[in-house]
């Protein structure tokens, strides 16, 4: 169902939704008796503003439930290898893990994570299924079972400097060719003082996540209709050639080392005229405490080079909390996961961290959200409406596909292999993985 049909953008939230933000967790939960007093959970999460907000509020969770939380935070690129090591060993090292929904099918197929339906029925202290944005909750459902609770979600859009575009007479790009022309104009007319564009180029999910915009936008895809790798195609080759060329010619120095954080810093510090990245970046652009470009940024859809794409060029990404099947503390783990994703916590988090990726309808419709993120809210919601749930394929072999594709992207950025040859190599390796 399109997000706008949910009417979360233009209608007031339920009156009860606003009221709950004022209620202390400890006062509303039936866990006052604290049957889990003294329990300690090991939780693995990804470095992100959402995680920062959870960390700051942990004393409230402990006060409400008696549960202590040992929170380990790692970069996104390190998180899946780390949890897979523990999952495959059946160690039970982590009770709760945070992961992108693209990995869920492989986790479920291997029996690494627990279904949550029974826990959701037994413990409703913090859980309100109806409050989740359906577009964010749906990727956590497999074969009618709930396996994760959405912690934050995002799409992707084009961010551009309105002031520079006006100064140099540049129209908002609607194709990748127009993006390249705009990047060239800015670099030349600013005498190289401002790079034309910055994007992630770091090997692995970082570079693949952004290059996927080019792949889909130029009419390509990761997989064919029969489930085989589709990277050995003219569309994919053109997409990688264009991505590498614009970054080499008009992008920042050291692009091979640029991940999400480095990319957003370059843009919010005014060192680049454009970027394509996650919608959550808008929160940093409009934060006067960290940004020099507040009020100077325009937001637009990720371009399409073709009028007949196989899928949208904007992502639909959801990071969720999953409970490890090997955990011996399933109920306590559920309380943490449902608390960290509850509407009460999400509403409160808007006051502590730049978290525009809330998954709660009540939080998204709160006055705080509108005040902090109104500058890009409409563009974000449009991106979510058009978001491609298969932007990164959600197959059990997703991690191998990402790794193989990431190596190809890195080789082309480094200039050590042509796009056609690098993608042919990745295509063969992806097909081998898909055949297993």
Q: What is the pLDDT of residues 402-412, one digit of tens each?
A: 999 999 999 99
Q: What's the distance, CA 208 to chain centroid?
A: 13
E strand residue ranges, 162-256: none
CA terminus-to-terminus distance, the chain: 34
Per residue, what are the HEC states of 275-304?
EEEECCHHHHHCCCCCCCCCCCEEEECCCC
CA distance to 148, 348, 363, per residue, from 366 (Å): 24, 10, 5
Query: Do 147 and 355 touch, CB atoms closer than 8 A?
Result: no
Please name every residue paired with 71 in a beta bridge, in sequence order, or none if there are none: 43
What's the angle, vertex CA 387, arms to CA 207 and CA 115, rounded to 5? 90
Asked if residue 49 lies in contact with residue 280, where contact means CB atoms within 8 angstroms, the answer is: yes
Please, are residues 222 and 231 in contact by the beta-carbon 8 Å criterion? yes
CB 48 within 8 A of CB 319: yes
What domains, with CATH codes, occur in the chain?
Answer: 3-8+15-147+318-381 (3.40.190.10), 156-314+389-435 (3.40.190.10)
pLDDT for the residue numbered 13: 31
Cα separations in angstroms, 314 against 105, 248, 392, 413? 22, 23, 11, 22
- Supply the pLDDT for residue 323: 98
H runs (alpha helix) in 341-395: 343-349, 361-364, 367-386
Q: Which parts of the chain sit beneath pLDDT 70?
A: 1-32
Q: What is the DSSP letter of 99?
A: E
Question: For residue 18, what pLDDT is reported?
Answer: 35
The pLDDT of residue 32 is: 52
How many other CB atoms are found less than 10 A from the CB of residue 111? Answer: 11
Give the torsion through C-alpha atoms of 421, 195, 198, 243, to 10 deg.
-20
CA dist 145 and 154 (Å) reads 23
Torsion of CA 391, 396, 401, 403, to 10 degrees: 110
| H or E stretch covering 164 | helix 162-168
Nearest to 275 by CA among 385, 173, 123, 386: 173
Residue 73 has a CB neighbour count (10 Å cut-off) of 16
């Amino acid at each position: 169902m399109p997000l706008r049909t949910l009417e979360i953008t233009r209608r007031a939230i339920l009156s009860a939704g606003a009221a709950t933000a004022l209620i202390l967790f400890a006062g509303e939960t039936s866990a006052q008796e604290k049957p889990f007093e003294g329990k300690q959970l090991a939780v693995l999460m990804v470095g992100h503003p959402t995680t920062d907000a959870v960390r700051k509020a942990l004393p409230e969770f402990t006060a409400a439930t008696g549960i202590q939380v040992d929170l380990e935070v790692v970069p996104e690129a390190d998180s899946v290898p780390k949890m897979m090591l523990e999952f495959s060993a059946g160690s039970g090292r982590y009770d709760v893990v945070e992961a992108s929904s693209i990995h869920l099918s492989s986790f479920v197929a291997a029996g690494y994570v627990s279904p949550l339906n029974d826990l959701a029925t037994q413990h409703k202290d913090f859980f309100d299924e109806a409050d989740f944005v359906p577009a964010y909750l749906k990727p956590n459902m497999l074969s009618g079972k709930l396996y994760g609770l959405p912690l934050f979600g995002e799409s992707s859009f084009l961010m551009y400097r309105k002031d520079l575009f006006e100064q140099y007479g540049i129209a908002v790009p609607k194709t990748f060719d127009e993006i390249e022309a705009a990047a060239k104009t800015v670099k030349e007319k600013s005498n190289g003082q401002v790079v034309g564009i910055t994007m992630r180029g770091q090997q692995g999910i970082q570079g693949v996540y952004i290059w996927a915009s080019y792949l889909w936008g130029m009419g390509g895809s990761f997989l064919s209709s029969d489930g085989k790798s589709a990277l050995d195609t003219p569309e994919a080759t053109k997409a990688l050639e264009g991505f590498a060329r614009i970054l080499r010619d008009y992008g920042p120095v050291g692009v091979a080392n640029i991940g999400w954080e480095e990319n957003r810093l370059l843009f919010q510090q005014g060192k680049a005229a454009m970027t394509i990245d996650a919608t959550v970046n808008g929160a940093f652009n409009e934060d006067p405490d960290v940004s020099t470009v507040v009020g100077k940024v325009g937001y637009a859809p990720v371009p399409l080079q073709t009028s007949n794409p196989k899928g949208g060029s904007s992502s639909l990404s959801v990071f969720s909390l999953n409970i490890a099947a090997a955990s011996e503390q399933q109920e306590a783990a559920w309380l943490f996961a449902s608390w960290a994703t509850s509407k009460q916590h999400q509403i409160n988090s808007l006051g502590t961290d730049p978290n525009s990726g809330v998954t709660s309808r009540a939080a998204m419709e709160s006055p705080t959200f509108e005040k902090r993120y109104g500058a890009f809210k409409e563009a974000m919601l449009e991106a979510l409406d058009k978001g491609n749930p298969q932007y990164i394929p959600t197959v059990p072999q997703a991690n191998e596909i990402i790794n193989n594709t990431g190596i190809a992207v890195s080789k082309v950025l480094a200039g050590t292999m042509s796009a056609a040859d690098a993608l042919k190599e990745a295509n063969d390796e992806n097909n081998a993985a898909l055949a297993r």
